[in-house]
Structures are given as C-alpha cells and as structure tokens.
Amino acid sequence: MSYIDSLKIMLGATPKRPTGYTPEAQAMHEAKRQVKGPERAREIKAAHAEHNSHKWRNIRWATLIAINLVFVLSFRFDVQLVEGSLTASRVIGFHMADLNSALQVMLAYKVILINLVIGTTTVFILWWLLGGRSFCSWACPYHLLAEIAEKIHLMLASRRMVVDYTLHRGTRAVLYVVFALLAVISGYTVFESISPTGIVSRALIYGPGLAMIWVLGLLVYEIIFIRRMWCRYICPIGLTYGLVGSISPVRVRYNLDNCLHEGDCRKVCLVPHVLECTKKTYAEDVNISIGADCTRCGLCIDACPTGSLKFEVKGLNKLL
C-alpha cells in the first residue's frame, strides 16, 4: 500500500483489493488456495489451542495508567515534576502541548505563542518516535474507558440486547474541518470544551466536574448504540496523530506466510480497515506495514494465533 493510499483510507476511503502482487505473494496466495475447508478449519483450531496472549494489552494498560498517574501524583504532592494535563503540560521544564489542542488555540486566538511552538515540536518528535496514534491507545485516559465500554457492548451484542450501528468513516475528517472552522469563527476552542480526553485527564488530576456527565453519557451511548463512536468517527486528535504516525518508524508489520486469515485480528481492532491486508488475497506483498490509522495498541498481535502480526522498528529490521 502506498503512503497516499494509507492517508486516503485514514480519511475515510474504502480499502480496495490489490490489482497486482509481488511474485512471492502471488505464490503464497496460490498455495493457500489449495488448502481445502476442512483442512483449514483444523489448522485454525490447532493454532488457537496453543495461543492465549494478552501481553501487549497488559503492557499498554499498565503504561496508560502510569502516565496518567504521574500527572495525578505530581499535582497531589506538589512535586512539579509534571505540571498541567495531557492537553498541555510542562515536564521537567519542557513545554508539551497536544498537537490538536495547540492548533485549536492558534485558530481561535489568531496568535502563535512561542510556548505552543516549543510544546508542539516536542510532542511531534515524541509521538513520531513512538508511533503517532499510539497516543490514543497508550496515553489517552478516555481510550481505556471506551475500551472497557466496548467489552460491555460486545457482551450485550452477543446476547442480542444491543445492535452495533456504524457511521461513515469520513465523518471524522469532516468534523476535523468543522471544529477548526468553529475555532476560527467563534474565537473559542469549541472542541476542547467537549473533548473527553481533556475532560477525563483534568478530572483525574483536579477532581471531576459537571463535564464528566457528558463523558459518562458518551460511554453509555457507545455501549448501547455505536461501538467506539468517539474514537472511530469523531475525534480529530486521532486524525492529527495519524498524520504523524504515517511517517513514524514504529509500526505493526503483517507477514503473509503463516497467516490463516481467520480474522481474529480484525475483530479486536479499533480501526479494522487498516487490517484489510489480512483478508485472503488482499496482501500485495509478503510483508506489509500497517497503515497510518493504526493505533499500535497491540490487540491484533495478541489475537493472532500464528504470529503473523508484530511490532517493527522501520530501518532497524527489529521485530518485537
């Protein structure tokens, strides 16, 4: 998949089956076609019998909690190691500002502040190194709450108590422009007032306010109606960091060779469109780096029974 195609898919385009394959990938696809249904079923069953991993989920949850706990404890004990919240902070004297929040401020107040420039540069470099949208799954406190709400939704859906409705993925790109225009026109950071990321972060540090009612309502709506609605279809933060992640050296790599195409990875993925290459005949090469919208959460790696998905550091030929 080309860089441009990856960005198009992130903005809402529908992934397409490739029209051409490398000779190695073509040979593998042909070999997989020879595997009949019963034989493939036995292979999948055997792979699942030997696989049970929550490694990356557990590491990620521990990291996410630790990051937010640092903010909380620093404020509670007045350590001043970390000041502020995930929206804007100062860490050991270094200004840090969420890229989307900084953009909203600049658009609303029509001014470029040196601290915002320093903060956004620092954060850009940090999340470029770590993988762009990994902010969503490894640092955002709302992501953890939404992940728990998603588990409740799936449990209820399995009992046919709720139905999972969907929106067009391009909705997020449209809302990105809408929030930017609202900031310019109103002179107010409209998005920041409703962003559950900032609301939850500040509630943890300074104590909950009335805005948490909005967050709880959003979680209830996601449980009953639209699974992971905010993160999938609305939040411009994910889109901003997706652009950063598109050029990041840290990403998830897919290997076609041992894949059984059973689809477990897509079932657990927040953004399953980035894993279209795991479908039968959808991989144009033997090794494929997963696209810009990937949150690097590691759930697909945990779910894959054959180890066909792994973290990689591009340029170092290192797999994790």
Examine the domain organization and report whether 147 and 192 are in the same domain: yes
Examine the domain organization and report whether 31 and 78 are in the same domain: no
Whether 100 is covered by a domain: the verdict is yes
Examine the domain organization and report whether 74 and 214 are in the same domain: yes
Contacts of 94 (CB under 8 A, 6+ apart): 118, 122
Cα–Cα distance, 249 to 11 (Å, whole number):
21
Examine the domain organization and report whether 90 and 155 are in the same domain: yes
Whether 6 is covered by a domain: the verdict is no
Cα–Cα distance, 84 to 75 (Å, whole number):
8
Examine the domain organization and report whether 315 and 233 are in the same domain: no
Q: What is the reported pLDDT for 185?
A: 95
Examine the domain organization and report whether 211 and 277 are in the same domain: no
Q: How far is CA 263 from CA 29, 106, 275, 276, 308, in A?
A: 16, 43, 9, 10, 12
> What mean pLDDT comes out for the span 180-197?
95
Place of tokens 């007045």: 78
Domain range holding 255? 22-50+249-319
Examine the domain organization and report whether 184 and 262 are in the same domain: no
Q: What is the reported pLDDT for 53?
A: 84
Q: What is the reported pLDDT for 319?
A: 67
> What mean pLDDT comes out for the span 24-47?
86
Task: For 166-219, give the secondary structure using H, E and C.
Answer: CCCCCHHHHHHHHHHHHHHHHCCCHHHHHCHHHHHHHHHHHCCCCHHHHHHHHH
Sign for the pseudo-dihedral over CA of 105, 107, 109, 111: positive
Label residues 112-137 b or e (16+ Cβ within 10 Å = b): eeeebeebbeebbeebbebbbbbbbb
Cα–Cα distance, 102 to 228 (Å, whole number):
25
Cα–Cα distance, 94 to 289 (Å, whole number):
32
Cα–Cα distance, 107 to 181 (Å, whole number):
8
pTM for the structure as a whole = 0.92
* 56 has a pLDDT exceeding 90: yes
Structural domains counted in the chain: 2
Q: Could you say which of 190, 223, 243 is where a domain stops?
A: 243
Q: Could you say which of 243, 261, 286 is where a domain stops?
A: 243
Examine the domain organization and report whether 81 and 181 are in the same domain: yes
Whether 129 is covered by a domain: the verdict is yes
Task: Considering only residues 96 and 215, tell me which one the structure prediction assigns the higher pLDDT.
Answer: 215
Whether 315 is covered by a domain: the verdict is yes
Whether 308 is covered by a domain: the verdict is yes
Assigned token pair, 126: 């940090």
Examine the domain organization and report whether 187 and 76 are in the same domain: yes
